[in-house]
Amino acid sequence: SFILVTSENHTMRSKLIYQKAIGGRFEFAAFLGPDPQVPLIGWRKLRTGQICVFMEYLKYGSLSFRPLIFLYC
């Protein structure tokens, strides 16, 4: 078992990547850590937040199109 800690905006994608990589051999929990450049509340008001969320959606959508080995977080 292990705990996966990642920034707020990467949590869902990171969890999916780890689930795919370990194939159910381990149990884990994913927790989010704060990211000052992309705050959970108010990210829409910051340019860095807008870009990061947009890029995260692109990366999340590409999970089914690329092999796991070529995914860079």
Between these two residues, 72 and 5, which has the higher pLDDT value? 5
Q: What is the pLDDT of residue 2?
A: 87
Distances (CA, A) of 2 to 16, 36, 54, 70: 15, 25, 29, 23
Tens digits of residue pLDDT in 9-35:
778 888 888 888 887 788 888 888 888
pTM of the model: 0.64
Q: What is the pLDDT of residue 67?
A: 55
Share of the chain above pLDDT 70, in %: 86
Give the sign of the dihedral formed by CA 38, CA 40, CA 15, CA 27.
Answer: positive
pLDDT band at 41 (very low <50, low <70, confident <90, very high): confident
